[in-house]
Structures are given as C-alpha cells and as structure tokens.
Amino acid sequence: MRFNEEKGKFKSYAYSYIIERMKSALTEETIQEERESPVEDFWVQAEMTHDDFSAVLWESMLEKVSTLLSENQRKWVKAY
C-alpha cells in the first residue's frame, strides 16, 4: 500500500496504515501465544481435575467413616 494523493490526504493514509500494522502485529502475537499455551493449559487443567477429584473422593470417604468416629475425631479429621 503506497500513498496516492488522488485518493486523499496523507494524514488519512498514515492513520489507516498505522492502524492496519498494529492490528496485524496483535494478530500475530495472539496466534503465537495460542500456539505456545495449549500444552501448559492442558497440564494445569489436569492438575486441577485431579485435585477436584481428590476433594470429592475425600468428602465421600469422610461421610462414610464419620458414623464410626466420635465428635472430636471428626473435628480432627476435617482439620487435616
């Protein structure tokens, strides 16, 4: 894209040229970030899923065992 006086003022050309270059740079940056981040996101999600599963499993086990424990024992188990 080159400046053409017949199409308008230089100010308009410069503005549109700069905006277009900024958009292109942001698009390229976003694409690069998306290429790099999926691997990291996968492992973060896997860890979160594991932690969530562990919490649900712990709560389920605690409900089943709590009938066998005294009040003080339940408090101790919940604290840890």
| 70 or 44, higher pLDDT | 70
- Which among 66, 68, 67, 16 is positioned nearest to 77, based on CA atoms? 66
Q: Which residues contact 1 (CB under 8 A, 6 or more apart)?
A: 17, 20
With pLDDT > 90 as the criterion, what percentage of the chain qualifies? 15
**pLDDT tens track for 15-45:** 889 999 999 999 999 898 888 766 655 556 5
pLDDT band at 75 (very low <50, low <70, confident <90, very high): confident
Single pTM value for the model: 0.42
DSSP 50-71: HHHHHHHHHHHHHHHHGGGS-H
Residue 15 to residues 6, 12, 27: CA-CA distances in angstroms? Answer: 17, 5, 18
Q: What six digits make up the tokens of 11?
A: 């100010």
What average pLDDT does the structure give for the chain? 80
With pLDDT > 70 as the criterion, what percentage of the chain qualifies? 79
